Structure 1
Amino acid sequence: MAVRDFRSELVGSFSEGSNGNPTVAMIEAAFRHHGLNWRYINCEVPPAGLADAVKGARAMGWRGFNLSIPHKVAVIAHLDKLGESAAIMGAVNCAVNREGVLIGENTDGKGFLKSLLEVVDPRGKSIVMFGAGGAARAIGVELALAGAKDITIVNRSAERAQPLVKLLNEKTKTPAELVVWPRPYRIPDGTDIVVNATSIGLGNGNQPLDIDVTSLKPQMVVADVIVDPPDTRFLRDAKSQGCTTIDGLGMLINQGVIGVKYWTGIDADPAAMRAELEAIFGG
């Protein structure tokens, strides 16, 4: 018992590369801010080692861990239960150890939804979302579960987008439709929320989204998932049209807030986490 009194509680992430560093910094900043003797450790785990990594986390009593691509789907076979949205989307990015039971959750979409709810409730709202990858899948499911009126998925590849549209239509109550991205795309009148869930703008704050900027209206809430840089061309264009905007840092921070709550039971201060990320990415 004396040994346990002096050791840190452990959580961490399993990634194939070292891309977890911003999350490490953000989560550890929250632990420091709240005076918690916890550590968040990024572990590089190849696909062949995932099963052993999960067994190791169980054996060492880790409180949980995050997962990045390519582990988000494969890890499901090594967990005990899944949360509702993780089960629908078939992907896990956060495991939580609850008295020895490993439960898979997905905080990607939850982080976005929490950030969005600070500005607008998506219930009953019409949504246009660009992209059909992992981020779009997670965000689409959470928006549907939150009661969105309808979701239009705009993507350059119909083949890639069809599984997401099918998932939303078959497993949620929110109707979804696919639009193959015309260039430029004009946001339909009556749209309430516009989301860029693509990688457009990542690493290049001047890369535009291929849309008719004049179709963005002041009553629209416009969100981007890009964190590097957080001030994307898409958000600047939206601001120029009078839209309310939400940057990608909010989504990432709220993923951290939700993860810390799952693991520790405390409500982490998002300001401490944002300060750490702004030092890394700017904001």
Structure 2
Amino acid sequence: MTTDFLPQITGSFANPASENPTVAMIEAAYKHHNLHFRYLNCEVTSENLKSAVEGAKAMGWTGFNCSIPHKVDVIEYLDGLGESAKLIGAVNTIVKRGDQWIGENTDGKGFVKAMKEVVDPKGKKITLFGAGGAARAVAVEMALAGAKEILIVNRSKERGNVVAKLVSQNTGAQSSYVPWTQNYSIQPDSDIVINATSIGLFPNVDDKLDINFDSIFPQMVVADGIHNPPLTHFLKTAISKGCKTVNGLQMLVNQGVIGVKYWTNVDVDPTVMHQKLTHVLGID
């Protein structure tokens, strides 16, 4: 591929696919806005990660995404981290700023942006299911957005406590670990309830959260980080109870919008990306 007409390109360190949803939606945004950028999908093994990063720098890339399992290991090859990425301890977006390569994390940022379209997290009490990488990113960003309290509901006490302490010690929000017991009942004064686990993700769409669904009340805003399907069992149940909801599809689009902004300094139209993403996923 020639880059004579492309002053900068972006790349994705991920597994190649015939039509990767993220690649498709970002390429659609580039085309729509007539941006001379390309978004490439590259498979990189752990032992070749350092060489891949050096290659991106040598080829004049403006940045790249980094997926599992490289989100933590890539940090040692960067020059610095953004505020939330530093707290989260993982990056998924790298951007060139001057002569430095800075790691950012758009996972939680995309989530908060989608959430704010429904409700402002500021001053809210949040129940968050999960304590993995996605939950960690969401917890940090919701705290930085002004959440008052975040309950980390998780099976593993050790992992749950790590996330709770991270939030409490580094942000203005209070956070505590709550054991995820069988048929868990959501605390009734929760303003926002979030699933940050993979439960219900395609193809296991019939999997259900082990919670008491009668503890979901209409005044709660319910969100699910899963983008496929966009309407999980969790969200369908919340809708049936009269709750406002936020789905993972818009969160994924928002992550892409934020990433493109980092690389190009252009605010792209999220509608274009959303339409392409739903088409590729076969849900339009």
Same fold (TM over 0.5): yes
Task: String of CA shifts for 1:139-196, please: whole Å, max 9, x gaps.
Answer: 0000111110100011112122221112112222211111111121111111100000
Alpha-carbon distance between aligned partners in 1 of 2:176 and 2:98, rounded to the nearest angstrom: 41
Match of 1:102, as an amino acid?
A: W
Q: What corresponds to 1:234 in structure 2?
A: 234
Q: Deviations over 1:228-258 (max 9, x none)?
A: 1111000000001100011100110000000
Q: Give the superposition deviation at 1:100.
A: 2.3
Instruction: Provide the residue aligned with 2:206 in structure 1.
Output: 206
Equivalent position amino acid for 1:155 in 2: N
- Verify the 8 A CA contact 2:168 2:174 in the aligned structure 1: yes
Aligned to 1:189: 188
Q: Counterpart of 2:255?
A: 255
Question: Per-residue deviation at 1:18?
Answer: 3.2
The correspondence of residues 134-153 of structure 1 with structure 2, limited to 5 A, is 134-153=133-152
Amino acid at match of 1:194: V
SS of alignment partner, residue 71 of structure 1: coil
SS at the partner of 2:188?
Answer: coil
TM-score by length of 1: 0.95
The answer to whether the 8 A contact 2:24-2:280 is kept is no
Paired residue secondary structure (2:134):
helix
AA aligned opposite 1:258: I
Shift of 1:120: 0.8
**1 CA distance for matches of 2:121 and 2:229?**
26
Aligned position for 1:272: 272
Which residue matches 2:96? 97
Corresponding residue for residue 25 of structure 1: 24
Tell me if structure 2 keeps the 8 A contact 1:226–1:232. Answer: yes
CA distance in 1, matches of 2:132, 2:257: 23
Secondary structure of 2:64's partner?
Answer: strand
State the Cα deviation string for residues 27-86 of structure 1 (Å, max 9, x = none): 111111111121100111111111111111111110100111111111111111110000
Is the CA contact 1:224–1:248 (under 8 Å) kept in the aligned structure 2? yes
2:125 corresponding residue in structure 1: 126
In structure 2, distance between residues paired with 1:159 and 1:81: 28
- Give the Cα separation in 2 of the matches to 1:232 and 1:280: 18
Show the 5 A alignment for 1:172-183.
172-183=171-182
Structure 1 counterpart of 2:209, one-letter code? L
Q: In the aligned structure 2, how far is the partner of 1:18 from the partner of 1:92?
A: 20
Contact 1:94 1:259 in 2 (8 A): yes
Asked if 2 retains the 8 angstrom alpha-carbon contact of 1:95 and 1:105, the reply is yes
Matches within 5 A, 1:148-163: 148-163=147-162
Q: Distance in 1 between matches of 2:138 and 2:62?
A: 25
Partner of 1:243: 243
Q: Partners in 2 of 1:49 and 1:277 — Cα distance?
A: 30
Equivalent residue number for residue 12 of structure 1: 11
Q: What is the CA deviation profile of residues 90-134 of structure 1, one whole-angstrom value per residue up to 9, with x for unaligned ones?
A: 111100012221111000000001110111110100000000001
Does the CA-based 8 Å contact 2:129-2:195 persist in structure 1? yes
Q: 167-176 or 79-88, which moves further after superposition?
A: 167-176
Q: Mind listing any 5+ residue stretches in structure 2 that lack a counterpart?
A: none
- Range that drifts further, 146-155 or 3-12: 3-12
SS at match of 1:253: helix
- C-alpha distance in structure 2 between counterparts of 1:210 and 1:240, whole Å: 18
TM-score, normalised to structure 2's length?
A: 0.95
Moved over 6 A (4+): none
Instruction: Indicate if the aligned counterparts of 1:8 and 1:39 stay in contact, CA closer than 8 A.
Output: no
Identity %: 57
Q: Distance in 2 between matches of 1:101 and 1:159?
A: 35
Task: For residue 38 of structure 1, give the secondary structure of its aligned residue in structure 2.
Answer: coil
